[in-house]
Amino acid sequence: MASVSTPADGGERLPPLQTLAYFDAAARHLNFTAAARELGTSQPAVSHRISALEADLGMPLFKRLHRGVELTEDGASLFEAVFESLDGIRSRVSDIRSRRRRRTLTLATDFGFASYWLLPRLAELRSLMPEFDVRITSSQQDFDAIRDHADLAITFGAGRWSGCAAHRLFQETVIPVCAPSLLKGAQDTSTAGDRLRNASCILRA
């Protein structure tokens, strides 16, 4: 692992993250008491953290006024950087936590239906159900509610699956097609049928 060198005077040393969080709250509220209320601590604790940060940087960050405080030029510059950084951290943490809270919805179907019909519409389905993490499982085996551990299934059949409530979505239309050369020279439909029965079939969903 590569090491990162720091200047001998510690000029690039960062203040503690908690101290920056105290500064962020104080700068947003421009009031140490309101910042303390947000952070669940006391006003003297916030004041002490800010004073320690100012001593560390060697510059005042706030102007102490009769009512509240006001950022100095250095304070405003630091607040811009700290707010942007902490806001990015808050956003990522929120995303991670929300994904953990999202319920998983497993949908089982066969390969053909998944590839040609369902997956092209998956983004739209997820946008309609943002609280669910939609997962697709596909198999060419007949659907089995116990084996497949699915919440929903889209499968072919007469609608009779033990332990499941079924609703017909649409009918399947199957049309046989072949290359014209396969039927060339056939004298009647029975001859054409014999040729088709002996031909290799390619199924497309």
**CATH classification of the domain holding 112:** 3.40.190.10
Instruction: Say whether both 143 and 186 belong to one domain.
Output: no
Assign 35 a pLDDT band (cuts: 50, 70, 90): very high
Q: What is the count of structural domains for the chain?
A: 3
Residue 4 is assigned to a structural domain of this protein? no
What digits encode the pLDDT tens for the residues 122-151? 889 888 888 888 888 887 777 776 666 788
Amino acid at 109: T
The domain that holds 30 is classified in CATH as 1.10.10.10
Would you say residue 169 lies in a domain? Answer: no
Q: Are residues 183 and 122 in the same domain?
A: no
Whether the per-residue pLDDT at 8 is higher than 50: the answer is no
Specify whether 27 is located in the same domain as 68.
yes
Asked whether the predicted pLDDT for residue 73 surpasses 90, the reply is: yes
Residue ranges of alpha helices (H) inside the chain are 17-29, 32-39, 43-57, 73-101, 111-113, 122-128, 145-148, 180-183, 189-197
Q: Provide the domain limits for residue 87.
A: 17-99
Statement to judge: residues 82 and 110 lie in one domain: no
Does 7 fall in a domain? Answer: no
Prediction pTM value: 0.48
Q: Which of 71, 99, 127 is the last residue of a domain?
A: 99
Q: For residue 49, what pLDDT is reported?
A: 96
State whether 23 and 90 are in the same domain. yes
> Hey, what are 157's tokens?
């059949």
Please check whether residue 3 lies inside any domain of the structure: no
**In terms of domains, do 52 and 110 share one?**
no
Copy the structure tokens of residue 188: 């009647």
Count how many Cα atoms sit within 13 Å of the Cα of residue 162 in the half-sphere of its side chain. Answer: 4
pLDDT (mean) for 2-26: 76
| Per-residue pLDDT, 108 | 87
Tokens of 197: 């029965």
25 & 79 share domain: yes
* Residue 168 maps to a domain: no
